[in-house]
Amino acid sequence: MSIKKAVNSPDTNDCFVAIDFETADYGRDSACSVALVRVLNNRIVDKAHFLIRPPRRTFMFTYLHGISWKHVANEPTFSELWPHITEKLAGAEFIAAHNAAFDHSVFMACCQTAALPPPVLPFHCTVRLARKTWNLRHANLPSVCTFLGIPLKHHDALSDAEACARIVIKSRLHMDSRRPFKS
Protein backbone atom coordinates (compact mmCIF):
# COMPACT_ATOMS: atom_id res chain seq x y z
CA MET A 1 0.00 0.00 0.00
CA SER A 2 1.40 3.40 -0.89
CA ILE A 3 2.05 6.01 1.76
CA LYS A 4 -0.41 8.38 0.10
CA LYS A 5 -3.17 5.79 0.17
CA ALA A 6 -2.39 4.72 3.73
CA VAL A 7 -2.74 8.24 5.06
CA ASN A 8 -5.35 9.77 2.77
CA SER A 9 -7.63 7.02 1.58
CA PRO A 10 -10.89 6.87 3.52
CA ASP A 11 -11.84 3.51 2.06
CA THR A 12 -8.91 1.63 3.55
CA ASN A 13 -9.72 -0.44 6.61
CA ASP A 14 -6.24 -0.24 8.00
CA CYS A 15 -5.10 0.25 11.51
CA PHE A 16 -2.78 3.03 12.61
CA VAL A 17 -1.55 4.38 15.90
CA ALA A 18 -1.17 8.05 16.72
CA ILE A 19 1.61 8.75 19.18
CA ASP A 20 2.82 11.67 21.24
CA PHE A 21 5.84 11.97 23.51
CA GLU A 22 6.63 14.57 26.13
CA THR A 23 10.28 14.95 27.07
CA ALA A 24 11.96 15.99 30.29
CA ASP A 25 15.06 17.68 28.89
CA TYR A 26 16.79 18.47 25.60
CA GLY A 27 17.95 14.86 25.17
CA ARG A 28 15.70 12.95 22.78
CA ASP A 29 15.95 9.91 25.05
CA SER A 30 14.30 11.81 27.92
CA ALA A 31 10.70 10.77 27.25
CA CYS A 32 8.69 11.25 30.43
CA SER A 33 5.25 10.57 28.94
CA VAL A 34 3.90 8.72 25.92
CA ALA A 35 0.38 8.24 24.63
CA LEU A 36 -0.78 5.87 21.92
CA VAL A 37 -4.20 6.10 20.28
CA ARG A 38 -5.18 3.15 18.09
CA VAL A 39 -7.50 3.69 15.13
CA LEU A 40 -9.25 0.97 13.15
CA ASN A 41 -11.67 1.71 10.30
CA ASN A 42 -11.46 5.43 11.08
CA ARG A 43 -12.60 4.86 14.68
CA ILE A 44 -10.59 5.25 17.83
CA VAL A 45 -10.61 1.82 19.44
CA ASP A 46 -7.98 2.16 22.17
CA LYS A 47 -6.15 4.85 24.13
CA ALA A 48 -3.16 4.39 26.39
CA HIS A 49 -1.04 6.82 28.36
CA PHE A 50 2.11 6.03 30.31
CA LEU A 51 4.39 8.11 32.47
CA ILE A 52 8.05 7.16 31.95
CA ARG A 53 11.03 7.51 34.26
CA PRO A 54 13.65 9.11 31.98
CA PRO A 55 17.36 8.30 32.28
CA ARG A 56 18.09 11.66 34.00
CA ARG A 57 16.41 13.58 36.80
CA THR A 58 16.71 16.89 34.93
CA PHE A 59 13.37 18.40 33.90
CA MET A 60 13.50 21.43 31.63
CA PHE A 61 9.95 21.32 30.25
CA THR A 62 7.78 20.98 33.36
CA TYR A 63 6.39 24.41 32.53
CA LEU A 64 4.96 22.96 29.29
CA HIS A 65 3.54 19.60 30.32
CA GLY A 66 3.43 19.81 34.11
CA ILE A 67 5.47 16.63 34.62
CA SER A 68 8.40 16.69 37.03
CA TRP A 69 10.72 14.12 38.57
CA LYS A 70 8.35 13.61 41.52
CA HIS A 71 5.67 12.40 39.04
CA VAL A 72 7.91 9.81 37.36
CA ALA A 73 10.43 8.75 40.03
CA ASN A 74 8.53 5.51 40.67
CA GLU A 75 7.28 4.95 37.12
CA PRO A 76 8.70 2.34 34.73
CA THR A 77 11.58 3.11 32.39
CA PHE A 78 11.09 3.04 28.64
CA SER A 79 12.52 -0.48 28.45
CA GLU A 80 10.12 -1.65 31.17
CA LEU A 81 7.20 -0.17 29.21
CA TRP A 82 8.38 -1.63 25.91
CA PRO A 83 6.09 -4.73 25.99
CA HIS A 84 3.04 -2.46 26.51
CA ILE A 85 4.13 -0.12 23.71
CA THR A 86 4.76 -2.91 21.22
CA GLU A 87 1.40 -4.46 22.13
CA LYS A 88 -0.33 -1.16 21.22
CA LEU A 89 1.56 -0.99 17.91
CA ALA A 90 0.81 -4.59 16.88
CA GLY A 91 -0.96 -4.78 13.53
CA ALA A 92 -0.65 -1.07 12.77
CA GLU A 93 0.33 -0.03 9.27
CA PHE A 94 1.88 3.26 10.32
CA ILE A 95 2.40 5.64 13.21
CA ALA A 96 0.97 9.15 12.97
CA ALA A 97 2.41 12.09 14.89
CA HIS A 98 2.11 15.85 14.74
CA ASN A 99 5.58 17.05 13.78
CA ALA A 100 6.52 13.41 13.26
CA ALA A 101 10.24 14.14 13.00
CA PHE A 102 10.28 15.00 16.71
CA ASP A 103 8.29 11.98 17.93
CA HIS A 104 10.19 9.65 15.60
CA SER A 105 13.54 10.92 16.92
CA VAL A 106 12.36 10.53 20.54
CA PHE A 107 11.18 6.99 19.81
CA MET A 108 14.48 6.05 18.14
CA ALA A 109 16.60 7.64 20.89
CA CYS A 110 14.62 5.89 23.64
CA CYS A 111 15.01 2.57 21.84
CA GLN A 112 18.74 3.15 21.39
CA THR A 113 19.27 4.11 25.05
CA ALA A 114 17.28 1.05 26.15
CA ALA A 115 19.10 -1.21 23.63
CA LEU A 116 15.78 -2.15 22.02
CA PRO A 117 15.06 -2.71 18.32
CA PRO A 118 13.16 0.32 17.02
CA PRO A 119 9.80 -0.21 15.33
CA VAL A 120 9.92 -0.64 11.58
CA LEU A 121 6.62 1.15 11.06
CA PRO A 122 6.70 4.30 8.95
CA PHE A 123 5.91 7.60 10.65
CA HIS A 124 3.46 9.99 8.96
CA CYS A 125 3.28 13.64 9.86
CA THR A 126 -0.08 15.30 10.49
CA VAL A 127 1.49 18.75 10.07
CA ARG A 128 2.14 17.85 6.43
CA LEU A 129 -1.23 16.14 6.15
CA ALA A 130 -3.09 19.22 7.44
CA ARG A 131 -1.19 21.51 5.07
CA LYS A 132 -1.89 19.24 2.12
CA THR A 133 -5.53 18.50 2.93
CA TRP A 134 -6.74 21.96 4.00
CA ASN A 135 -3.96 24.25 2.70
CA LEU A 136 -3.33 25.49 6.23
CA ARG A 137 -0.49 27.95 6.53
CA HIS A 138 -0.31 27.66 10.31
CA ALA A 139 -0.30 23.94 11.02
CA ASN A 140 0.85 23.68 14.62
CA LEU A 141 -1.36 21.38 16.67
CA PRO A 142 -3.45 24.07 18.40
CA SER A 143 -4.12 25.83 15.07
CA VAL A 144 -5.15 22.65 13.27
CA CYS A 145 -7.36 21.59 16.18
CA THR A 146 -9.05 25.00 16.27
CA PHE A 147 -9.64 24.85 12.49
CA LEU A 148 -11.12 21.34 12.71
CA GLY A 149 -13.00 21.79 16.00
CA ILE A 150 -10.97 19.14 17.80
CA PRO A 151 -10.71 19.56 21.59
CA LEU A 152 -7.12 19.87 22.78
CA LYS A 153 -5.21 20.18 26.04
CA HIS A 154 -1.86 20.90 24.41
CA HIS A 155 1.24 19.14 25.79
CA ASP A 156 -0.90 16.52 27.48
CA ALA A 157 0.36 13.45 25.62
CA LEU A 158 -3.01 11.69 25.49
CA SER A 159 -4.84 14.78 24.28
CA ASP A 160 -2.16 15.48 21.66
CA ALA A 161 -2.15 11.87 20.40
CA GLU A 162 -5.93 11.76 20.21
CA ALA A 163 -5.98 15.07 18.33
CA CYS A 164 -3.44 13.66 15.89
CA ALA A 165 -5.59 10.57 15.33
CA ARG A 166 -8.63 12.78 14.71
CA ILE A 167 -6.69 14.86 12.17
CA VAL A 168 -5.94 11.71 10.14
CA ILE A 169 -9.58 10.58 10.40
CA LYS A 170 -10.93 14.01 9.38
CA SER A 171 -8.49 14.14 6.48
CA ARG A 172 -9.74 10.77 5.25
CA LEU A 173 -13.37 11.87 5.55
CA HIS A 174 -12.57 15.15 3.79
CA MET A 175 -10.91 13.31 0.93
CA ASP A 176 -13.91 10.97 0.73
CA SER A 177 -16.33 13.92 0.51
CA ARG A 178 -14.41 15.30 -2.46
CA ARG A 179 -14.76 12.10 -4.50
CA PRO A 180 -17.38 12.13 -7.23
CA PHE A 181 -20.42 9.97 -6.67
CA LYS A 182 -20.04 6.51 -8.18
CA SER A 183 -23.07 4.46 -9.05
pLDDT for the residue numbered 6? 39
CA distance 51 to 21: 10
* Centroid of chain to Cα 125: 9
pLDDT for the residue numbered 177? 73
What phi, psi does 120 have (nearest 5°)? -95, 5
SS3 assignment, position 179: coil
pLDDT for the residue numbered 176? 79
Domains of the chain plus CATH, in order, are 3-177 (3.30.420.10)
CA dihedral 90, 96, 99, 100 (to 10 degrees): 40
67 Cβ contact partners less than 8 Å away, ≥ 6 residues apart: 22, 24, 32, 33, 51, 59, 61
Residue-wise pLDDT tens for the chain (183 aa)?
233 333 444 334 489 999 999 999 999 999 999 999 999 999 999 999 999 999 999 999 999 999 999 999 999 999 999 999 999 999 999 999 999 999 999 999 999 999 999 999 999 999 999 999 999 999 999 999 999 999 999 999 999 999 999 999 999 999 877 665 444
Report the candidate in 25, 28, 37 with the shortest Cα–Cα distance to residue 108: 28
CA distance 169 to 39: 9
What phi, psi does 81 have (nearest 5°)? -85, -15
Amino acid at site 168:
V
pLDDT for the residue numbered 179? 60
What single DSSP character describes residue 75?
S
pLDDT for the residue numbered 12? 47
pLDDT for the residue numbered 73? 98
**Whole-structure pTM value:** 0.89
